[in-house]
Structure 1
Amino acid sequence: MTWDVLNIIGTIAFALSGAFVAIEEKYDLLGIYVLGLVTAFGGGVIRNLLIGVPVTTLWEQELLLKLALLAMTIVFLLPASLLSSWKRLLIFFDAIGLAAFAVQGALHAKAMNLPISAIMIAAMLTGIGGGIIRDILAGRKPLVLREETYAIWAILAGFLIGIEVVNSSNSLHLYLLALLVICLRLLAVKYNWRLPRRSFS
């Protein structure tokens, strides 16, 4: 049940995130759908490729596909006045999608009895993969490859599940972990937390 809820939350959040980016880039309706769908499902596809789950399982997620399309259609039909605060909404939906998919990805790897390194990578790729594809298609530098701490919170979620600090069979623990990731992501944006970087000059 927790897995399904996290899947629904993450799918809708990332579909909306992709839709808002597409609207800012002045894409048409098809572009909104394409960008929203790759954001919502791209991370899961990349994760499945790496941990040996058939990619065709995507087509078994008919409900999620319908929910993503419905969410993007609603955004497309919203009046322009309600889209003016898209940046704030984008960060919020991105944080929700990151948290929900990072936890869901870690649970997926944990259920397959993979080692902790694989659980952390599965959490990271599920959380950030769709956003990377979204940014590339939108002609942007991927958010996660810049100096932001975006991916760190997904890795943290995978680590806590992998070492069983968070009980993967306890719904409350998993929801609290997702909330923690959301809060850390929003705090990182608010206080401009950055990872170290180097340059040639």
Structure 2
Amino acid sequence: MWDLLNVIGTIAFALSGVLVAMEERYDLMGVYILGFITAFGGGAVRNLLIGVPVSALWDQGTLFTVAFIVMTIAFVFPKILRWTLLHRGVFFDAIGLGAFSVQGAMYAYSMGHPLSACIAAAALTGTGGGMIRDVLAGRKPLFLQKEIYIAWTLIPGLFIGLGWLTGTIEVLLIVVVIVALRLCSVYYGWQLPSRSIEEEHQEPYEKSALTE
């Protein structure tokens, strides 16, 4: 299960990075850099958080090879990925979010960390790579946009951190749920409540201006 989530998340986020790089008209080297950062950036941030040596990242030689092959195919045959460009590659990003958030929570839980660490590991593993990708591409990070994004990582962090998910089928199911919820939040425009301090002070300001 651990290896499966690793492969799914790596492929999905690598393709997400390729799509963003191609939209920004980056050259081949830019595609590789953005793809690798998207695929492995979240894991590096997670390792720093939960006390795993960053050098452990270099032990994933097979995943680096898989990511390289996938990105090369996507660059050479971009038409096969054209259908995923809706909402700037949200499809692949949602798959990476689901797989890596669950994997991050499992990683922290297996090390005996408390619930708070499992939730944080799920959030950072699921969104860290995409955040770095968007910053390097000069875009507003997806997890800061109006559709619900990072909040979905609380689900695997909570359920796994409390020890409620242990079976393979249960883990796969929660990945599917996270992917579906992320896609639905984009399609239906689900949003968390938000407020603006400027709007709250605008009306009193206008009244005082009128009295003057």
Return the TM-score normalized by structure 1.
Answer: 0.94
| Larger Cα-atom Rg | 2
Q: Does 1:87 align with 2:119?
A: no
Distance in structure 2 (CA, Å) of the matches to 1:183 and 1:157? 14
Structure 2 matches for 1:76-155, cutoff 5 A?
A: 76-79=75-78, 81-88=79-86, 90-155=89-154
The offset of 1:83, in angstroms, is: 4.5
Q: Which amino acid aligns with 1:85?
A: W
CA contact (8 A) 1:42 1:130 kept: yes
Distance in structure 1 (CA, Å) of the matches to 2:3 and 2:123? 19
Q: Which amino acid aligns with 1:135?
A: D
Distance in structure 1 (CA, Å) of the matches to 2:177 and 2:82? 28
CA contact (8 A) 1:147 1:196 kept: no
Gaps spanning 5+ residues in structure 1: where? none
Q: Which residue of 2 is the match for residue 174 of structure 1?
A: 171
Distance in structure 1 (CA, Å) of the matches to 2:111 and 2:164? 18
Q: Does 1:3 align with 2:2?
A: yes
CA contact (8 A) 2:13 2:96 kept: yes
Gaps spanning 5+ residues in structure 2: where? 200-212
Q: Which amino acid aligns with 1:7?
A: N
Determine what percentage of the aligned residue pairs are the same residue: 53
Number of residue pairs matched by the alignment: 197
CA contact (8 A) 2:84 2:92 kept: no
Post-superposition CA distance 1:115-157 (Å, at most 9, x none): 1011000000000000000000000011101222111111211
Return the TM-score normalized by structure 2.
Answer: 0.90
3-state DSSP of counterpart to 2:89: helix
Q: Which residue of 2 is the match for residue 191 of structure 1?
A: 188
CA contact (8 A) 1:15 1:37 kept: yes
The offset of 1:16, in angstroms, is: 0.2
Q: CA RMSD in A?
A: 1.2
Q: Which residue of 2 is the match for residue 74 of structure 1?
A: 73
